[in-house]
Amino acid sequence: MKIEILRDLFKKALNASEKITRKISSLPALQNVLMTVEGNFLELTTTNLETTIRWWVLAKVSKKGQVAVPATFLANVVNLIPAEKLDLREDGQNLIITTPDQEVQIQGQDPAEFPIIPKISKNDFWQIETTTFTQALGLVVDIPAVSQIRPEISGVLIAVKADILKIVATDSFRLAEKTIKLNKNQGKDCSFILPQGAARELMNIFSQENGEISIFYNPNQALFELSNQEMSYPQINVLSRLIEGAYPNYQDIIPKKFVANLTINKDELVSQIKKAGLFSGRSSEVRLEITPKDGKLKVFSQTIETGKNEATLPCRAEGIAVKISFNYKFLLDGLNSVKGAEVTLELSENEGPCILRPVGDNSFLYVLMPIKL
């Protein structure tokens, strides 16, 4: 292997790819980045066996080849080399990096020990804008909870029907659903559960990019690929194993009837919930009292250790008077996910779930279970 490459492009690809190798200690090969030169590209591959990241970087190629070196160590070295261009070559199993005034040798391992990356059929696929997809993931990715008993809720549900894609996550106490429109649907209706870690990597990597993501699905894995518009090679792809099992029929827990609803300034409510949270103690409980006829929302919290907090906010409300308590941290998460100046809260009967929605936007909802009074 012998190539010349722009340092900034190489650095960007390395820094994005090496993160999934940091927490792996049992298999030394998984701490490496596999560097493969084909055509006019350097392909970087990292994997933790659940998620695989492949990144193609344009290079001036003198000789093809392959080398595997520690990913994080290589990234740290490249970050400290100020040159505009780098010359890379392999020497046995080692990688040599040279500039006009520097030379670095990094000890590698046999590339044959790097795991074989499974291939996925590309017959069926869907396309969506990167910004739309990553912003939707960002609304739900922090919600799943690790569960050995119910592993299916440890991930993020991706569900496709016609030209609509839904992204859903729950931890059994709360649930978020974001609905977005596909740019293209060349596949069948389906759904699959993406591990939370893979969802985070997708969000972190593709949020920095422009263009369209193509999504390819097989029963046990999914591939997310950003095409290079000017070249035959893709620019980035992320392959993820999927969580087995059926996702809960979450539609059943979304209430359809409500005894009260209110619309309120989001920032004012967030501020009062944060303050009430300081007085909530270990229970994290904050009580809301809605009085529709007066157009008032009271926010209340009290503990023996901290004291009492009470505040009243103006709102537009309909229905009956309601007293209801929530975990303030979960309530804040929902409020912070709502875009816009105002938020609507819809309250169901018998201390059932509450729904938070943006005003004038039905593409997102956040369902929160109350604390029983």
Domains and CATH numbers, the chain: 2-113 (3.10.150.10), 125-251 (3.10.150.10), 254-368 (3.10.150.10)
224 forms beta bridges with 215, 238
Distance, CA of 62 to CA of 303 (rounded, Å) = 71
CB under 8 Å to 288, separation ≥6 — which residues?
297, 298, 299, 300, 322, 323, 324, 325, 326
What pairs with residue 91 in β-bridges?
Answer: 94
Name the one residue in this structure whose structure tokens are 């729950």: 170
Number of other CB atoms surrounding residue 118 within 10 Å: 12
Give dist(CA 351, CA 176) in Å, integer.
Answer: 19
SS3 189: coil
**pTM of the model as a whole:** 0.92
Q: Enter the DSSP assignment of 230.
A: T
Q: 360 vs 209, 340, 356, 365, CA distance in Å?
A: 29, 9, 12, 12
pLDDT reported for residue 145: 86
Task: Report the pLDDT value the prediction gives residue 25, as an integer from 0 to 100.
Answer: 67
How far apart are alpha carbons 67 and 65 in whole angstroms? 7
Rounded distance, CA 358 to CA 27, Å? 46
Q: For residue 275, what are the contacts with CB-CB under 8 A and spacing of at least 6?
A: 309, 311
Residue 312 per-residue DSSP state: E
DSSP state letters, 164-217: EEEEEEE-SSEEEEEEEE-SEE-S--EEEEEEHHHHHHHHHHHTT--SEEEEEE
Largest CA distance in the chain: 80
pLDDT in tens, the chain (373 residues): 999 999 999 999 999 999 999 877 678 899 999 999 988 999 999 999 999 999 999 999 999 999 999 999 999 999 999 999 999 999 999 999 999 999 999 999 999 999 999 999 888 899 999 999 999 999 999 999 888 888 999 999 999 999 999 999 999 999 999 999 999 998 889 999 999 999 999 999 999 899 999 999 998 999 999 987 666 678 999 999 999 999 999 999 899 999 999 999 999 999 999 999 999 988 999 999 999 999 999 999 999 899 999 999 999 999 999 999 999 999 999 999 999 999 999 999 878 999 999 999 999 999 999 998 6
Residue 73's pLDDT is 97
